Chains A and B, each alone.
Chain A
Amino acid sequence: MSMIEDQTTVATFSPAELYARILRDEPTFILDVRNEDEFARSSIEGRTKLTTLNLPYFEFLEDEDGCAARVPSDREVFVVCAKEGSSQYVAGILQERGYKARYLEGGYTSWGNFYDVRDVVNAAWGRIVQVARPARGDLSFAVISGGEAALIDPMRHTQVYLDLIAEAGAKLTRIFDTHVHADHISGGPALAEATGAPYYVHAYDAIHPIDMLPAVIAYTHIEEGHSFEVGQVKITTRWFPGHTLGQVNYRLDAPDGQSGLFTGDGIFLRSFGRPDLGGKGEAWTPMLYRSLTERLPTMVDDSTLILPAHFSTLDEGNAEGIFAAAYSEVRASNDALKPRDEAEFTTYVLSNLPVFPPEYVEIKRVNIGLSTPCDGTANELELGKNICALSG
């Protein structure tokens, strides 16, 4: 068992390095040594040049030579497991055989919890900063202007937001959720508690749609037309029911004429939010139809930046990993937004609903304070990529 003792000599790679490779579309060979079920549930996705082989570590235990022979020896091997230990073990086996192998620090869990921060807009009035969680396809934003900061849809790991606001020398004054999320745990309530900034959500979303129980977290109700100032920027609430009853978009207006729409799970760049995660898909679909056809046109002009809460595939973003586009582009490229009458739309929606992940019911409970998971449980609830968009 000398392998175990030699493990400290095996090199690692970080989630940030991996994501940089993926964005650059560098050829990358991933050896995922988790069991088949975990691998099937979620795995690292790239653009076009990422190759993955799933070969569970226990197969290496049984047959080191046979397994090693299935791994290409002419390129660097990036080994991934759930937490770290098994990938370190397998990378050690490969290294002993002359392979160039590294393993992911913290395993798939750390990939799932990796956040990428970059500016979408940097102007005289301030910045719009995108905070993405690439493994989940989750997006959130900070608006920083005149020494004030607002967050839109912040996620569970709140320190990343506190750090970026502190680095900007700003003060967090408002925390907005576009809706109560089903796929991931919001950082909003925790940030409100830590900073005293108000946490805004529409009251319709503060009732669990399946349990029919009200929120026990502190929140401030917002509704259509409520507007706020963040430094030089104006943020206006626009009701967009469909994905949830209380889904809202936040329209940003900057002094230079720049506008943006934080759409949450209303519309995405290539799709829109599914109306069935409250368990009422048939009842909510007509509402979604009116939001898309009647409400949305009043919220945007062609140049308005659409800033959604999710992406489904990395190619929705640009080469720099920015997942935002002008409405004119979105309208042209989003097949889900093409004109349909209500009957066609209903058929389209109801025939393109992906699987309903059972944990989404529990995540909604967590987000309104009805359930309080430990970190380990939270990681498991959030494992894998969001399934908030229609699959069509």
Chain B
Amino acid sequence: MTSFDQTLDVKGAKCPMPLVKSRKAIGDLPVGQVLKVVATDRGSVADFQGWAKTAKNVELVGQETVNEGGQDLYLHFIKRTA
């Protein structure tokens, strides 16, 4: 499990909201900290990878898929770098 400082729950949110909310949350995070985003939208896996390449202040430090009560959860660990 990747270490993290804060958690953002975007379960149930559909595209583009997981990214819109994550982007806002990372802006409130001190530089160097890691945000764990918990999403149910499978499309978020590729989109977080694409976003991390595009955004100047974000690094994707890890992604995991876990099953919780029969539901797949997509975990994205993003670090504010600037």
Chain A contacts to B: CB under 8 angstroms: 1, 4, 35-38, 56-59, 61-62, 81-83, 85-86, 89
CB A3 to nearest CB in B, in angstroms, measures 9
> Assuming A4-B20, A61-B20, is B55 touching A82 (CB within 8 A)?
no
> Assuming A62-B55, A86-B15, is B46 touching A38 (CB within 8 A)?
yes
Tell me which residues from 9 to 56 in chain B have a Cβ below 8 Å from any Cβ of chain A: 14-17, 19-20, 23, 43, 46-47, 49-51, 54-56
Residue of A nearest to B56 (CB): A62
> Assuming A35-B50, A36-B50, A85-B14, is B19 touching A58 (CB within 8 A)?
yes
Question: Which A residues lie within 8 Å of B47 (CB)?
Answer: 35, 56-58
Size of chain B's interface in residues, with CB distance under 8 A? 16
Tell me which residues from 48 to 71 in chain B have a Cβ below 8 Å from any Cβ of chain A: 49-51, 54-56
Question: Which A residues lie within 8 Å of B46 (CB)?
Answer: 35, 37-38
Question: Which B residues lie within 8 Å of A4 (CB)?
Answer: 20
Question: Which A residues lie within 8 Å of B51 (CB)?
Answer: 58, 61-62
Does the CB pair A56–B23 fall under 8 Å? Answer: no
Can you name 5 A-B pairs with beta carbons within 8 Å? A35-B47, A62-B51, A83-B15, A83-B43, A89-B16
Question: Which B residues lie within 8 Å of A61 (CB)?
Answer: 16, 19-20, 23, 51
Question: Which A residues lie within 8 Å of B16 (CB)?
Answer: 57-58, 61, 85-86, 89
Residue of A nearest to B51 (CB): A58
Residue in B15, B19, B54 whose beta carbon sits within 8 Å of that of A82 in the complex: B15
- What's the Cα separation between A36 and B46 when bound, in Å? 9
Residue of B nearest to A33 (CB): B16
Question: Which B residues lie within 8 Å of A62 (CB)?
Answer: 23, 51, 54-56
Question: Which A residues lie within 8 Å of B19 (CB)?
Answer: 57-58, 61
CB B78 to nearest CB in A, in angstroms, measures 12
CB A267 to nearest CB in B, in angstroms, measures 37
Question: Which A residues lie within 8 Å of B17 (CB)?
Answer: 85
Question: Which A residues lie within 8 Å of B23 (CB)?
Answer: 61-62
Which 4 pairs of residues, A with B, have the shortest CB-CB distance? A58-B51, A86-B16, A35-B50, A85-B15
- What's the Cα separation between A57 and B14 when bound, in Å? 13
Residue in A1, A59, A82, A89 whose beta carbon sits within 8 Å of that of B43 in the complex: A82
Interface centre among B15, B46, B55 (most CB of A within 10 A): B15
CB B49 to nearest CB in A, in angstroms, measures 8
Question: Which B residues lie within 8 Å of A1 (CB)?
Answer: 20
Residue of B nearest to A90 (CB): B16
CB A377 to nearest CB in B, in angstroms, measures 11
Question: Which B residues lie within 8 Å of A35 (CB)?
Answer: 46-47, 49-50
* Further contacts, 7 of them, CB under 8 A, given A61-B20, A86-B16: A36-B50, A57-B16, A59-B54, A61-B16, A61-B19, A62-B54, A83-B14
- What's the Cα separation between A247 and B22 when bound, in Å? 51
Question: Which B residues lie within 8 Å of A56 (CB)?
Answer: 47, 50, 54
Interface centre among A4, A37, A81, A86 (most CB of B within 10 A): A86
Question: Which B residues lie within 8 Å of A82 (CB)?
Answer: 15, 43
- What's the Cα separation between A279 and B51 when bound, in Å? 38
- What's the Cα separation between A176 and B23 when bound, in Å? 52
Question: Which B residues lie within 8 Å of A59 (CB)?
Answer: 54
Residue of B nearest to A60 (CB): B16
Question: Which A residues lie within 8 Å of B43 (CB)?
Answer: 82-83
Question: Which A residues lie within 8 Å of B56 (CB)?
Answer: 62
Question: Which A residues lie within 8 Å of B49 (CB)?
Answer: 35
Residue of A nearest to B17 (CB): A85
Residue of A nearest to B45 (CB): A35
- What's the Cα separation between A56 and B48 when bound, in Å? 11
> Assuming A58-B47, A61-B20, A61-B23, is B54 touching A81 (CB within 8 A)?
no
Residue of A nearest to B20 (CB): A61
CB A379 to nearest CB in B, in angstroms, measures 11
